[in-house]
Chains A and B, each alone.
Chain A
Amino acid sequence: MSGTATELRLAVAARAENLALVRQALAGLGDATGMDEATLSDLKQIATEACMNSIVHAYPDDGEGRIEVRARVAAGEVTLSVRDWGVGFRPRPAEAHGQSLRLGLPLIASLADRFEVFAPLDGGTEVRVRLSLEGGLGEPVQQESPAAPREAEVAVTGDAARQVIARVMAIAATRVGFSLDRMSDGVLIGDVISSHDAGDFAGNRVGVELDESEPGTLWMRVGPFVDGGARRLMEHMEVPGMDFSLAKLADRVDVESDQEGDFVVIELSRDQRPAKVGEDGE
């Protein structure tokens, strides 16, 4: 398989008897490319499930639609695409179908290394999967999941930051039970964050993590920042011409660092406590 790809393109009428034909064509491709038995087995299973989905759901009335199956074997992997031009993905009552049809897509997702479903512009549905050659059998690989946020994490680029962060902070403040005055404090701080130079944030994304689990307290972690970005956000909170920083509206403002970079942690309580900003009483 060095260097060159082997491709199969097959079009069949959307009829159940053609599922075996699709599997046999893929078996031929597997034999021709020296594909390992385990990967070929998964490939045939996935193709069958995807084609069945088209037969049952995409063309529910006439059963005479077109299904295109494409497979490409190259560089240690096989990619498969199953495309139809039917009615596309639509919500449907669960009770209208047997249990089998709820097993198909999860089964594909379990067997494939990568699984995507598209709604092409010219209609229908396309399922694309990728499988690594060799070692397809065995238990599905369990990838480590990213940790759950404390409550919510939002990261926005460009002009959208102002609107998105203002709305997210408003609903968080409402859930904490802020009064209108206290909410306006939060909005002011949110405005400073969302209007801050996005270039100070890692990846140019204005990021805020929110947590409301402490009763009556809205906890925010802003960042991660590039070098010096957290300090510049603190400076940004200072009101020009006045010896006042919006940070004083918060109960706590600290700069923290972890492996991702620097963060500004802000806590606002429902009942404002005396401001304590940093160790120098800033």
Chain B
Amino acid sequence: MEIAGEVQVSSPAEGVGVVALVGEHDLGTVNQVRDALERVQNEQGAVVVDLCKATFIDSSILGAILEGRRQASEKRTGYGVACDGSSEPVNRVLDVTGLRRELPVHESVDAALEAIRQRTGSA
């Protein structure tokens, strides 16, 4: 049972960063998430938000993810979200809010990276 939320940042390739949310995330960690998204966007360009190891996210985290997408759209940089479906609470929130389709959400980080490559011709 993951309780404390952790934000892990990595860069699998030049020009792209992955912000992985591990454990439970809510208003208590939303600033960490926002900061990481902004930093990676500024330093790397393209961003993948990885929810595969998240066990809980609330609407403040969804808001941060949507804000990240808005900024990526403004800056014309790549942006993707990955969730492998292993956490039912995370699945539930993505489905009920309609964000799985709206964002859209990919089944893995690799799939999200591929989608960014196809859209931007980079990453």
Contact = CB atoms under 8 A, between A and B. Distances in A.
Interface string A134-166: 000101100000000000000000000000000
**SS class, residues of chain A in contact with chain B:** helix
Kindly state the interface size class of chain B when it binds its partner: 20 to 34
A45 B89 contact: yes
Contact of A98 (B63, B88, B95): B63
Interface stretch (B6-14, B54-62, B77-85, B112-120): B54-62
A97 to B, nearest CB: 9
A282 to B, nearest CB: 57
A20 B64 CA distance: 19
Contact of B63 (A24, A99, A106, A110): A99
B7 to A, nearest CB: 15
A52 B88 contact: no
B66 interface: yes
A9 B3 CA distance: 22
Given A45-B92, A100-B61, A55 B67 contact: no
Interface string B29-71: 0100000000000000000000000001011111110110000
22 contacts: A16-B28, A17-B28, A20-B3, A20-B26, A23-B24, A23-B56, A38-B88, A41-B92, A44-B56, A45-B58, A48-B26, A48-B58, A49-B59, A52-B58, A98-B60, A98-B63, A100-B30, A103-B62, A107-B97, A111-B92, A111-B96, A139-B95
Interface of B: 3-4, 24, 26-28, 30, 56, 58-64, 66-67, 88-89, 92-93, 95-97
